[in-house]
Structure 1
Amino acid sequence: MTTRTAPPETELKQPPSRTLPIAALALVITLVVQFIGQLDINVGVGSVIVFPMVWGLLLGLLVSVQKVKPLGLNVQKAAAALVGVAVMLLVARLAFNIGPSLPTLVDAGPALLLQEIGHLLGTVALALPLAVLLRMGKATVGATFSLDREPSFAMVSEKYGPDSDQYRGVLAMYVFGTLFGALFITLLTSFVANWHIFDPLAMAMGAGVGSGSMMAASSASIVAAHPGDQEAILGMAAVSNLITTVLGVYVGIYIALPLADRFYRVLTRRRAAPEAASPEPGAAVSAGAAPAAAPTDDLAANRAFREQAERASAEVKLPLWLSLPVLTVLGIGSASVAATSFSWRIVGGYAVLLALVLLGLALAKASRKISAIVWITTVGAYLSSPWFFAADALNSLVNSVDFLSIATIMLTLAGLSLGKDIPLLRRIGWKIIPVGLVAITASFLLSVVIAEFTLGLWS
């Protein structure tokens, strides 16, 4: 995968004076939702958990669409540009979750490794064709190349940009999975476990879909059906979830995302000409484009029209010297509220994360063929692994930064950027529900079937 680039004429530099207000607004929303905390809604057969990051997304969206004091298009695009850098910090923090567990990955057996094919490709095999059938447009790729947990934002943002339809597909699936994923997989696992046709350890491997809450809910249902194997089920599910998280970055970048993109193009090639002639609903708004046809044949009018269209569709670019300090202030504030107090260890943790992001970007620029996401993940995992001499000191600092506090910042900024994308989000609308249900089902069941086969092969 190569880092996404855009022609110079499609990029606009954002003055710092226009970036600071959106950063201040994001800081206020982030602190408010962190104080609110998570909300557990009992629905009888399970609970729907609304985390602060979801509150941040929803509140940011409300601010973005309100008409009292509308957010300008460039302001929303500045928020989207900040999202693109925030995902780098999120990946850096994720790398420090991966490193300490690398020995477990080394010791994993072939059954654990092979069943990951189900988690990583099951969504492409079944959910993607359904999304194409429902005409979700290019958002299909982002919504179905995986179950779209936190690392997915980084992969899609780097390849397509945080202002793309593919990115909005990730966002839609992420919100669906966060709100309803644990509840649905609880029902699904209970149903499958009561068939008594799969080994409970195979189902435990299937439970490791890459989400902690979904893994816990699924493994609890398996334990309920096989209480005598509780310890083995919980341990196997935890290791499977770890492997999905570790391998997910690399397989997602180099296999799942390119495969989903190619599969989408194959399935929609007959529509390509009509869609080129008639853009899909919301495309003009999501790109900020001007009307599709030039108003007159007058040369000056046409030139003005083209300039207006180019500015409307341009992507706002923020320099790292501005975006990284802004996100650091947001991050320290969010992490301090999550930890219930300010600590210099949080500042030290962010210093380590910033250094890792800058190193990853420098290595990506030097290598040109390996993306910054891969460099950040690989270097961060090594620095936090037992094989690095200073791992304990670095882990102590970085672990003071709550992982979900960074996700809250990212989704709050995403919400503030969504006002311009309402037509596309409306077009996705209810379609994300059947697509999401099929994606979770495909990921779990395909993984279980592969694990069942490999367990029998190597038992």
Structure 2
Amino acid sequence: MSTSTTTPRIDKAGARLTLPVAALAFVIALAVQFIGQAKIDIGIGAIVIFPMVWGLILGLLVSIQKFKPLGLDLQRVAAALVGVAVLLLVARLAFNIGPSLPSLLRAGPALLLQEVGHLLGTIALALPLAVLLRMGKATVGATFSLDREPSFAMVSEKYGPDSDQYRGVLAMYVFGTLFGAVFITLLTSLVANWKIFDPLALAMGAGVGSGSMMAASSASIIAAYPGDQEAILGMAAVSNLITTILGVYVGIYIALPLADRFYKVLTRKQTREAAAVAAGGGAVRSQADIDRDDAQAEENRLFREKVAESSAAIKLPLWLSLSVLTVLGIGTASVAAKGLSLSIVLGYGIMLALVLVSIALAKVTKKISAIVYITTIGAYISSPWFFAAESLTTIIKTVDFLSIATVMLTLAGLSLGKDIPLLKNIGWKIIPVGLVAITASFLLSTVIAEFALGLWH
């Protein structure tokens, strides 16, 4: 008699699973910080590869190697740590918003107008390509946005969780998870080194709605315009927050209906041909058609379940997550600063306090996320209107934001091994569509911001 050996999925984890992941991330993050960045000239421009990209790649290699496999639960722990690391990254960036408020206010109209590029750029360029590649109805889900987590609910409610449209959302989500940060780093580095755009316009373009992609993109812009680091980080953080908040409403009421309508317009010839065939064969659908649709729905369901299994959250104690990330962060920040200093430790203390207060407020209000509180409070206490702003900002500046991004993307890399098997389910067509979607979101937003800044500056 056989006995099942399937290990039940756990929903909570403690130090036993967290510390091994933290140790791996610590070694990798420190190693890539020592390696530093590399600049590669490719003729049409230069590409800068940062430690965080090395960390992502090395983390991925560790998570997929077969010699001593990194278990699924360990990868899920790494993913959970990424979620908390994002809060620390936002806390660090919030202290660039306050000092940059005059620039942000002057760029106000441009900051809002360029969101058109983020929110609709994918429809303008990626959707026609997906139609050309005959992705079918999955085109709508894959191209109405960059498809992070909020997109799931929008498409599922409108089309159903087993629909082709929902499969498109999942495919783009998997693509963005695996390749988004690396690709936008290379793209932004190339475009920024052309030196044809205002760095603030590029910073607005970096706010694509993903924390990791925004951090990676901002790093490339700063490498090209090091003198504008504070303004770039502040602008990118605000743009990313606006994209995240507006993305839900624009997605529901504008982007998704528009993508659906645009898809129908572009495929009207195919639709008419299909209708003519159906009319010629009679109004009743054949059993073969019914079986084919049922098989596709079942395939979509299985893919959805695989993605759900891969992305299933695991809960870590907050004290453990923050403790681990603080140690990792202080270590990488010290390497970046070429030495440990009290100000780095104090900087992390301030960021931890900001994160904890914001999480508490989010739990009390329940309708406003911790990220909004972190950004708002951090911007205020670093602004000219707060009495201790200069002292706080001076301390926080000793914590290199790239060191936090390195920790975050290293952990992200360690979590990606579980997503690699999904590649065979998403198909090759999502690769060019995904690349165009990210490019369109960044470039269209940057171009709009460039013209808008020219009008209002």
Answer yes or no: same fold by TM over 0.5. Answer: yes
CA contact (8 A) 1:141 1:257 kept: no
CA contact (8 A) 1:31 1:337 kept: yes
* AA in 2 matched with 1:324: L
Distance across 1 between alignment mates of 2:83 and 2:129:
25
2:315 alignment counterpart: 317
Q: 1:68 to 1:139 in 2, by over 3 A?
A: farther
2:66 alignment counterpart: 67
Q: CA deviation at 1:19?
A: 1.3
Deviations 1:146-178 (A, max 9, x none): xxxxxx99x999x99xx9974762663322110
Q: CA deviation at 1:214?
A: 5.8
Distance across 2 between alignment mates of 1:314 and 1:117:
31
* AA in 1 matched with 2:187: F
Q: 1:322 to 1:138 in 2, by over 3 A?
A: farther
CA contact (8 A) 1:172 1:432 kept: no
CA contact (8 A) 2:58 2:413 kept: yes
Of the three residues 332, 335, 344, the one matched with 1:334 is 332
* AA in 1 matched with 2:180: M
Q: CA deviation at 1:252?
A: 1.6
CA contact (8 A) 1:56 1:411 kept: yes
1:46 alignment counterpart: 45
Identity percentage of aligned residues:
44
Q: CA deviation at 1:316?
A: 1.2
Q: CA deviation at 1:287?
A: 3.1
Distance across 2 between alignment mates of 1:164 and 1:354:
35
Does residue 1:251 correspond to 2:242, yes or no?
Answer: yes
Q: CA deviation at 1:245?
A: 2.3
Q: 1:105 to 1:335 in 2, by over 3 A?
A: same
CA contact (8 A) 1:285 1:420 kept: no
Q: 1:33 to 1:115 in 2, by over 3 A?
A: same
Q: CA deviation at 1:116?
A: 3.0
Correspondence list, 1:35-434, <5 A = 35-106=34-105, 108=106, 112-113=110-111, 115-127=113-125, 129=127, 133=131, 140=142, 144=146, 166=173, 169=176, 172-184=179-191, 206-208=201-203, 209-210=205-206, 211-212=217-218, 215=221, 241=232, 244-260=235-251, 263-264=255-256, 267=259, 276-279=297-300, 283-288=304-309, 314-425=312-423, 427=426, 428-434=430-436
Which is worse superposed, 131-140 or 336-345? 131-140
Distance across 1 between alignment mates of 2:18 and 2:248:
31
Distance across 1 between alignment mates of 2:257 and 2:420:
25
CA contact (8 A) 2:118 2:442 kept: no
4+ residue runs over 6 A deviation: 136-139, 216-220, 268-275
CA contact (8 A) 1:138 1:166 kept: no
Does residue 1:436 correspond to 2:438, yes or no?
Answer: yes
CA contact (8 A) 2:63 2:414 kept: yes
Q: CA deviation at 1:398?
A: 1.1
Q: 1:205 to 1:126 in 2, by over 3 A?
A: farther
Which is worse superposed, 108-117 or 386-395? 108-117
Q: 1:326 to 1:22 in 2, by over 3 A?
A: same
Deviations 1:101-135 (A, max 9, x none): 113333x1665445434454353442563586465
Distance across 2 between alignment mates of 1:87 and 1:445:
27
Q: 1:251 to 1:281 in 2, by over 3 A?
A: same
Q: CA deviation at 1:47?
A: 1.1
CA contact (8 A) 1:64 1:415 kept: yes
* AA in 1 matched with 2:396: V
Q: 1:164 to 1:430 in 2, by over 3 A?
A: closer
Deviations 1:183-238 (A, max 9, x none): 14656x86xxxxxxxxx9xx777444245466579999xxxxxxxxxxxxx99x99
Secondary structure at the aligned position of 2:340 is classed as coil
* AA in 2 matched with 1:432: G
Distance across 2 between alignment mates of 1:182 and 1:423:
30
Does residue 1:446 correspond to 2:445, yes or no?
Answer: no
Distance across 1 between alignment mates of 2:403 and 2:82:
14
2:158 alignment counterpart: none
Which is worse superposed, 26-35 or 430-439? 430-439
Q: CA deviation at 1:29?
A: 0.4
CA contact (8 A) 1:183 1:217 kept: no
* AA in 2 matched with 1:443: S
Q: CA deviation at 1:368?
A: 1.0
CA contact (8 A) 1:127 1:439 kept: no
Give structure 1 stretches of 5+ with no counterpart.
1-8, 146-151, 191-199, 221-233, 290-312
Deviations 1:336-394 (A, max 9, x none): 11111011211111010011001110111111111111000000111111111111221
Q: 1:433 to 1:98 in 2, by over 3 A?
A: same
2:284 alignment counterpart: none
CA contact (8 A) 2:52 2:402 kept: yes
Paired residues in the alignment total: 386
CA contact (8 A) 1:37 1:52 kept: yes
Provide the aligned C-alpha RMSD in A: 4.1
Q: CA deviation at 1:17?
A: 0.7
